[in-house]
């Protein structure tokens, strides 16, 4: 496929993926409401993180591979772009967590020390979770590690950006993931110190598969089927993660990670075909990352406040309002906190005589997921 055709494919905004990314973040939030109140709600929802890893590989490859491999964007500029995208929400989440600690919410960790570590995405190995003040940060750390490996392959002497290279990387990741599943007897690995290495295998497969799917699409080997049906299939798969405990849970989750998650990604290539759905997808995509990064400190703070009903309809209504309010807050963060910072960074990059970076739009800088 010619470069102009490939760039045309890369330039098309995939609004369906925006909507699916936001839905995946919502699914994770619902699960963590359960952990906040001590109820096992939607146990399979944690595997939406694997969809985030997959989406990250696809989106980062789509937005940056050609620029980096062709020398139009340096590895340093790419790192700066990723930091600008990820760190504002990380910083805000730690501010919320610090406020939570000051109310007495965190009693099992040195909050000051773990906050300093988390600010630089350095895990804490002496606590129950790698990031006790905001547990989802473990996946952001792994994503940055995957980004670094991705860029290293693009800047090497042979510029490894073919379908075959991506297929080999995904196969290696698959082997590592299957070994980790056998070793830990679970696929719910990564957020705790004792399963951290398993988390590396978890992202190696999904991120590598995301890169592979991008390159297959770039080379015309994978095409979208437009219309509502493929998109709604992706919605149905992600919504299925909200089901209660099912028989053979581990097997079903492995099937999701290996098969249903990539099907969901491909379903997101479709154009939903409705202005209202497109608008909803755009909103969901915009709030998805701050929602993922901020929801745990918000839920923990509210849960520790002693104002939440404990059972019955009142509890359901209360936490439903909390989830919706958290979504609204996340959208405001994206619109009035992150977007100005990204715009400022673009201006700084432009004035620093880095034209390739200055062309990176906010949608591309959004990168992942979560």
pLDDT on residue 1: 45
Check: CB of residue 230 under 8 Å from CB of residue 267. yes
For residue 5, pLDDT beyond 50: no
Distant-in-sequence, close-in-space partners of 226: CB < 8 Å, separation ≥ 6: 270, 271, 273
CA atoms within 13 A on the CB side of 246: 13
For residue 33, pLDDT beyond 80: yes
Work out the mean pLDDT of the chain and round it to a whole number. Answer: 86
pTM (two decimals): 0.90
pLDDT on residue 359: 38
Give the residue from 276, 283, 277, 187 showing the smallest Cα distance to 234. Answer: 277
Give the residue from 253, 224, 225 showing the smallest Cα distance to 48. Answer: 253
For residue 369, pLDDT beyond 50: no
pLDDT in tens, 9-29: 555 789 999 999 999 999 999
Check: CB of residue 234 under 8 Å from CB of residue 16. yes
pLDDT in tens, 160-176: 788 999 999 999 999 99
Burial environment of residue 209 by CB neighbours within 10 A (0 to 12, 13 to 18, 19 or more): buried
Check: CB of residue 4 under 8 Å from CB of residue 268. no
Lowest pLDDT segment from 72-76, 122-126, 267-271, 359-363: 359-363
- The two tokens of residue 327 are 């979504």
pLDDT on residue 40: 85
pLDDT-derived band at 356 (thresholds 50, 70, 90) equals very low
Give the residue from 97, 17, 80, 108 showing the smallest Cα distance to 54. Answer: 17
pLDDT on residue 104: 60
Give the residue from 253, 267, 295, 344 showing the smallest Cα distance to 134. Answer: 295
Give the residue from 157, 113, 104 showing the smallest Cα distance to 132. Answer: 113
Check: CB of residue 302 under 8 Å from CB of residue 41. no
- The two tokens of residue 220 are 């015309």
Lowest pLDDT segment from 110-114, 233-237, 246-250, 336-340: 110-114
pLDDT on residue 90: 94
3-class DSSP state of 334: helix
pLDDT on residue 3: 52
What mean pLDDT is predicted for residues 321-332?
97
More confident residue, 256 or 71: 256
More confident residue, 204 or 245: 204
What mean pLDDT is predicted for residues 322-326?
97
Separation between Cα atoms, residue 65 and residue 22, nearest integer Å: 24
pLDDT on residue 311: 80
DSSP codes joined into one string, 264-312:
HHHHTTS----HHHHHHHHHHHHHHHHHHHHHHHHHHHHHTTT-S--SH
pLDDT in tens, 285-316: 999 999 999 999 999 989 887 888 888 899 99
If you search the block for the tokens 């940060």, which residue do you land on? 137
Separation between Cα atoms, residue 253 and residue 36, nearest integer Å: 23
- The two tokens of residue 334 are 């994206």
What mean pLDDT is predicted for residues 65-78?
89
pLDDT-derived band at 214 (thresholds 50, 70, 90) equals very high
What mean pLDDT is predicted for residues 239-252?
85
The rounded percent of the chain whose pLDDT value lies above 70 is: 87
Helix, strand, coil percent content, the chain, rounded in steps of 5: 75, 0, 25
Distant-in-sequence, close-in-space partners of 161: CB < 8 Å, separation ≥ 6: 65, 69, 153, 154, 215
More confident residue, 113 or 173: 173
């Amino acid at each position: 496929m010619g470069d102009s055709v490939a760039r045309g494919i890369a330039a098309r905004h995939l609004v369906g993926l925006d909507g699916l990314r936001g839905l995946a973040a919502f699914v994770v939030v619902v699960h963590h409401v359960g952990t906040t109140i001590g109820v096992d709600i939607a146990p399979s929802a944690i595997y939406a993180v694997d969809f985030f890893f997959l989406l990250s590989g696809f989106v980062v490859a789509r937005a940056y591979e050609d620029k980096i491999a062709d020398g139009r964007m340096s590895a340093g500029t790419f790192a700066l772009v990723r930091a600008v995208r990820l760190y504002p929400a990380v910083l805000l989440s730690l501010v919320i967590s610090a406020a939570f600690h000051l109310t007495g919410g965190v009693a099992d960790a040195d909050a000051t020390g773990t906050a300093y570590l988390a600010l630089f995405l350095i895990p804490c190995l002496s606590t129950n979770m790698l990031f006790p003040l905001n547990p989802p940060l473990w996946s952001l750390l792994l994503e940055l590690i995957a980004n670094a490996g991705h860029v290293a392959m693009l800047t090497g002497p042979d510029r490894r950006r073919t379908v075959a290279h991506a297929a080999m990387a995904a196969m290696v990741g698959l082997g590592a993931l299957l070994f980790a599943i056998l070793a830990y007897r679970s696929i719910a690995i990564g957020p705790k110190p004792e399963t951290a290495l398993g988390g590396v295998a978890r992202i190696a497969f999904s991120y590598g598969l995301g890169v592979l799917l991008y390159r297959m699409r770039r080379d015309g080997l994978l095409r979208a089927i437009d219309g509502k049906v493929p998109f709604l299939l992706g919605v149905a798969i992600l919504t299925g993660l909200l089901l209660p405990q099912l028989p053979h849970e581990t097997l079903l989750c492995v099937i999701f990670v290996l098969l249903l998650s990539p099907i969901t990604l491909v379903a997101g290539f479709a154009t939903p075909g409705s202005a209202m759905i497109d608008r909803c997808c755009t909103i969901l995509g915009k709030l998805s990352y701050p929602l993922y990064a901020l929801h745990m400190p918000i839920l923990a703070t509210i849960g520790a406040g002693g104002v939440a009903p404990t059972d019955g309809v009142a509890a359901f209504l209360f936490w439903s309002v909390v989830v919706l309010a958290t979504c609204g807050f996340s959208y405001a963060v994206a619109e009035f906190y992150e977007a100005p910072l990204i715009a400022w960074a673009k201006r700084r990059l432009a004035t620093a005589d880095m034209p390739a970076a200055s062309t990176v739009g906010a949608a591309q800088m959004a990168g992942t997921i979560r």
